[in-house]
A and B are shown apart, each in its own frame.
Chain A
């Protein structure tokens, strides 16, 4: 009889201990995974000053001639370091690839044609399409920031897609290999992409209306 009672108590202790061990294990695992999470994804620290500062660098790139010439306010692309209106009355067209006998690819090849005043090239050469003009020319920093963040005006892009466009899109990349006689943007593409990421990570703030 005594033995049986002892046996039962021992069993209960064993069960109790295993439950305790299990819980400790679960808690430990959840703590370690929680700490891993904080390592890969730091909590977003919004910082309007740092965010705006990063955007102002991006703004300088987007409004430099290489980017702006294909994001014009009118329906003609711009040309050259002085951003004059494209000769030959070239127009955007519905799909952004020109009109009739003046389609972009009629002259612009898959790569730059060597020589001064020769057509630059890229397989994706085009303007933004007529229903999504994504104008950079003449936009203030604030206007451009808000436009870039608005999927209705940015080609339906999320902020992740916006970063990807700036960092990886092959036509955007042409700006840094513009061929003879054309000045590339003021900073490298990697530097620009880093500033875009910073702008968004810090809260994607738009500069105030006075910023220039």
Chain B
């Protein structure tokens, strides 16, 4: 039995400690906002926050996350009002949407550490999140927009 803390809530998980955290989050905890793209740490669709960092849950094992705070897209903000979510809506970033929760979770780490990112900073943070629909230019614009909202004091 492994106890994990997802979005502030404890879950007692009876599963193989080698099970990928992504399976646990989606199939056992039941939060399906986090997506499965590749299962090999190659695409970023499964990105969650672990200890505040962007972790790829498809290669993170259940046994390694006991008691460590995990945040999924469902709890990025209380009311879908993280500056990134507001910017994403305003600029209509998603196409199919499949990669977008991973994009948002990665971008949230960038904005926390760098409130005023340049294009280069965005490339450095986001190049590991693949979008098969090619929404990259909208993602870039929305991150700039979110940074502006954040500087103007929009709180999530």
Q: Which residues of A contact B (CB under 8 A)?
A: 87-91, 99-103, 105-107, 109-110, 113, 115, 117-119
Is B126 in contact with A101, judged by CB distance below 8 angstroms? yes
Is B41 in contact with A101, judged by CB distance below 8 angstroms? no
| CB < 8 Å neighbour of A119 from B41, B107, B110, B123 | B41
Contacts of A110 in B (CB 8 A): 64
Q: B74 interface residue, CB < 8 Å from A?
A: no
| CB < 8 Å neighbour of B47 from A88, A101, A115 | A101
Q: How far is the CB of A53 from chain B (nearest CB, A)?
A: 42
Is B125 in contact with A99, judged by CB distance below 8 angstroms? yes
Chain A: CB-nearest residue to B110 = A100
Is B64 in contact with A109, judged by CB distance below 8 angstroms? yes
Interface string of B58-70 (1 = CB under 8 A from A): 0111001000000
Chain B: CB-nearest residue to A103 = B53
What count of chain B residues pass the 8 Å CB interface test? Answer: 28
Q: How far is the CB of B143 from chain A (nearest CB, A)?
A: 11
Is B124 in contact with A88, judged by CB distance below 8 angstroms? no
Chain B: CB-nearest residue to A118 = B40
Q: B127 interface residue, CB < 8 Å from A?
A: yes
Is A100 in contact with B114, judged by CB distance below 8 angstroms? yes
Is B106 in contact with A101, judged by CB distance below 8 angstroms? yes
> A91-B124, A100-B121, A118-B41 given. 11 additional CB < 8 A pairs?
A99-B125, A100-B114, A101-B109, A101-B128, A102-B54, A103-B53, A105-B53, A109-B59, A109-B60, A109-B64, A119-B40
Q: How far is the CB of B44 from chain A (nearest CB, A)?
A: 8
Q: B85 interface residue, CB < 8 Å from A?
A: no
9 A-B pairs in the complex with CB atoms less than 8 angstroms apart: A89-B128, A100-B106, A100-B113, A101-B44, A101-B107, A102-B128, A105-B53, A105-B55, A119-B40
Which 3 pairs between the two chains have the least Cβ-Cβ distance? A89-B127, A101-B106, A100-B125
Q: Is the interface of A mostly helix, strand, loop or mixed?
A: loop
Q: How far is the CB of B24 from chain A (nearest CB, A)?
A: 15
CA distance A40 to B12 in the complex (A): 58
Q: B56 interface residue, CB < 8 Å from A?
A: yes
Contacts of B41 in A (CB 8 A): 107, 113, 118-119
CA distance A45 to B146 in the complex (A): 67
Contacts of B53 in A (CB 8 A): 103, 105-106
Q: How far is the CB of A160 from chain B (nearest CB, A)?
A: 34
CA distance A118 to B61 in the complex (A): 14
Is A106 in contact with B40, judged by CB distance below 8 angstroms? no
| CB < 8 Å neighbour of B59 from A88, A101, A102, A118 | A118
Contacts of A91 in B (CB 8 A): 124
Q: How far is the CB of B94 from chain A (nearest CB, A)?
A: 18
Q: How far is the CB of B58 from chain A (nearest CB, A)?
A: 9
Contacts of B113 in A (CB 8 A): 100
Contacts of B126 in A (CB 8 A): 101
Interface string of B93-118 (1 = CB under 8 A from A): 00000000000011101100110000
Chain B: CB-nearest residue to A113 = B59
CA distance A90 to B105 in the complex (A): 17
CA distance A102 to B61 in the complex (A): 18
CA distance A118 to B60 in the complex (A): 12
